[in-house]
Amino acid sequence: MIETSGEEYSAQNAPNLTPEIAIAHLRSPDLSLRYYAAWWLGKFRVSQLEAIDALVAALEDEADRTELGGYPLRRNAARALGKLGNLKAVPGLIKCLECSDFYVREAAAQSLAMLGDKTALPALIKLLDGGVEQAVQVPGLPHLTQPYTAVLEALGAMGATEAISLVEPFLQHSVPRLQCSAARAMYQLTQESIYGEFLVKVLATGDLKMRRVVLGDLGAIGYLDAAEAIAQAQVENSFKLIALKGLLEYQLPKQSDTFGISEQAIRVMNLMDSLL
Amino acid sequence: MDELIRAITTAETPSQLVTAVKNLAATKNPSAIPNLIAVFGYNNPEAAIVAVAALTELGEIAVPQLLDQIDDYNYGARAYSIRTLAAIADPRALDVLISTTIADFAPSVRRAAARGLGKIHWHKLDPTEAETGTNRALETLMFICQDTDWSIRYAAIVGLQALAQEDLVRLPILAQFQLMLTNDTEKAVRARVQLALAQ
């Protein structure tokens, strides 16, 4: 998942906002204030109901448009709603999956995955219509017809086993990043090591950018057999530590106060220690 | 010797550089120290790792020059210097490891320094100095247990676990571990505390 535009803001250079001011700014005549406020509410996890309602309303904004017909405010509102954890946002986000703006659809798919509400599954699955044949580059634009990476990752994270036969063909897609997203989802949906090993192989053969992305995938799915390969990967230690942290967390019971630590957890921590 | 050093400065490809550094490292000659340190700034990770290993093996004799030649303007080079100083564990590096642990802008360098703070060879100091030094290392590692970056807190625990070998500071470290076991927000950090307590 790649955060675009919104995260470029540095908190230090930003106008001083409070939740109340930010919510009010979502209806400001100044469009840049609206855009910034939507990002700010997500960044600072302002989860009060007024913020949710105002952001949901912003998903239908018509005022803020790019030259190409994009909806910047909708994008930021959709991203923020994923971080705020309120299922009230789900119907509005589902509607965004049909928005004409690719980046709104992408943000909505990512946020729906974070919210984890399964009522979104049919709408997410619908974006895979036409399968791999339809998953082609849009002429002149830097993206495919749909936000496939976000959709595949959402289906995997939400345990959409009914979508396995639709996800599987994307392992053969010509875009390497998409193959990895498919492998990541397939592992989550089937727990079969062949998909984890696919990612391990990319870790050894891909370029640096790809290796960083795959480390994120392996951490997200907690594929334990990748631990040593992660520790040895030709990538900055910070990325490796985050991936191993993901593996470690899968080895720890949900209720943390009383957990004992398993041999596997110790193995992962020893690798983490060696990367400090 | 001059020939080996010249081979480093005249290397035209990355692999020539690695070979040249390996050859110089193999001499185990202390007069190679400044040239080995200079390799940290060449932006060639493979060569730098060879230099780190060579300097670590040379040990305390390399410490004064390592301290003197830390590159404040090149974070990559600085990271290798700190890693080497942490590995040699000579107490003369204490001040540098403390300031790096607290204030370097690169988390990877801070983590390496924090880990190093736990393993300093205190017995090389006289007892009073050792006591002061151990306490300063403790204070530093305790301080970064509050850091917002989980990986810094993780490194702090690794450092504190090693430092707890010193009787002088064991009790406050155990108390800190208990505190983090209940209060730390990251499951991975709490797990590392458990591992430290079990060992």
Instruction: Give whole-number Cα distances, A37 to A45, A80, A191, A232, B140, in Å.
Output: 12, 10, 40, 42, 38
* Secondary-structure percent of chain A, ordered helix, strand, coil, rounded to 5: 65, 0, 30
pLDDT per residue over A130-148, tens digit each? Answer: 999 999 988 888 899 999 9
Give the model's pLDDT for residue A140. 86
B152 token code pair: 């810094």
pLDDT per residue over A91-125, tens digit each? Answer: 999 999 999 999 999 999 999 999 999 999 999 99
Contacts of B151 in chain A (CB under 8 A): 238, 241-242, 245
Angle at the Cα of B142 from the Cα atoms of B91 and B178, rounded to 5 degrees: 125
Q: Is B39 exposed, middle or buried (0-12, 13-18, 19+ CB in 10 A)?
A: buried
The answer to whether A183 and A171 are in contact (CB under 8 A) is: yes
Contact A273 B190 (CB under 8 A): no
Nearest Cα neighbor of A157 from A200, A128, A120 is A120
Average pLDDT over every residue of A258-264: 79
The answer to whether B93 and B63 are in contact (CB under 8 A) is: yes
Average pLDDT over every residue of B21-35: 93
A2 has a pLDDT exceeding 60: no
pLDDT band for position A5 (cuts 50, 70, 90):
very low
List, in order, residues 6 or more apart from A106 with CB less than 8 Å away. A143, A147, A150
pLDDT band for position B75 (cuts 50, 70, 90):
confident
A259 has a pLDDT exceeding 70: no
Q: What is the 3-state secondary structure (H, E, C) of A2-27?
A: CCCHHHHCCHHHCCCCCHHHHHHHCC
Contact B115 A276 (CB under 8 A): yes
Which option is the CATH number for A15-115: 3.40.605.10, 3.40.50.2300, 3.40.50.150, 1.25.10.10?
Answer: 1.25.10.10
A35 has a pLDDT exceeding 70: yes
Nearest Cα neighbor of B160 from B185, B187, B189, B183 is B189
Give the model's pLDDT for residue A72. 95
Contact A276 B150 (CB under 8 A): no
Task: Cite the residue boundaries of each domain of chain A with CATH code 1.25.10.10.
Answer: 15-115
Give the model's pLDDT for residue A3. 40
CB atoms within 10 A of CB A147: 23
The answer to whether A93 and A120 are in contact (CB under 8 A) is: yes
Give the model's pLDDT for residue A15. 65
Residue B17's H or E segment, with its range, is: helix B14-26
Nearest CA in chain A to B76: A236
State the DSSP string of B19-60.
Answer: HHHHHHHHT--GGGHHHHHHHGGG--HHHHHHHHHHHHHHGG
DSSP-assigned letter for residue A50: H
* SS3 (DSSP) at A268: helix
Contact A276 B114 (CB under 8 A): yes
pLDDT per residue over B132-185, tens digit each? Answer: 999 999 999 999 999 999 999 999 999 999 999 999 999 999 999 999 999 999
Nearest CA in chain B to A236: B108
Give the model's pLDDT for residue B73. 85
B49 has a pLDDT exceeding 60: yes
The answer to whether A217 and A200 are in contact (CB under 8 A) is: no
Range with the lowest mean pLDDT among A7-21, A86-100, A247-261? A7-21
Contacts of A241 in chain B (CB under 8 A): 151, 154
Note the pTM of the prediction, 2 decimals.
0.86
Average pLDDT over every residue of A66-79: 94
> What's chain B's Rg over C-alpha atoms?
18
Contacts of B187 in chain A (CB under 8 A): 249, 252, 256
A276 has a pLDDT exceeding 90: yes
Nearest chain B Cα distance for residue A20, angstroms: 26
List, in order, residues 6 or more apart from A160 with CB less than 8 Å away. A118, A121, A124, A125, A189
Structural domains in chain B, CATH included, are 1-88 (1.25.10), 111-198 (1.25.10)
Give the model's pLDDT for residue A75. 97
Please tell me whether the interface predicted TM-score (ipTM) of this complex is above 0.90: no
Q: What is the dihedral of CA A196, A202, A208, A209, to 10 degrees?
A: -70
A129 has a pLDDT exceeding 60: yes
CA atoms within 13 A on the CB side of A89: 37
Q: What is the dihedral of CA A179, A185, A187, A191, to 10 degrees?
A: -160
* SS3 (DSSP) at B129: helix
Give the model's pLDDT for residue A255. 64
List, in order, residues 6 or more apart from B9 with CB less than 8 Å away. none
Nearest CB among B158, B188, B190 relative to A276 is that of B158
The proportion of chain B whose per-residue pLDDT surpasses 90, expressed as a percent, equals 86
Q: Which of A10-14, A56-60, B103-107 has the highest mean pLDDT?
A: A56-60
Average pLDDT, chain A: 91
A9 has a pLDDT exceeding 80: no
Range with the lowest mean pLDDT among A181-185, A242-246, B4-8? B4-8
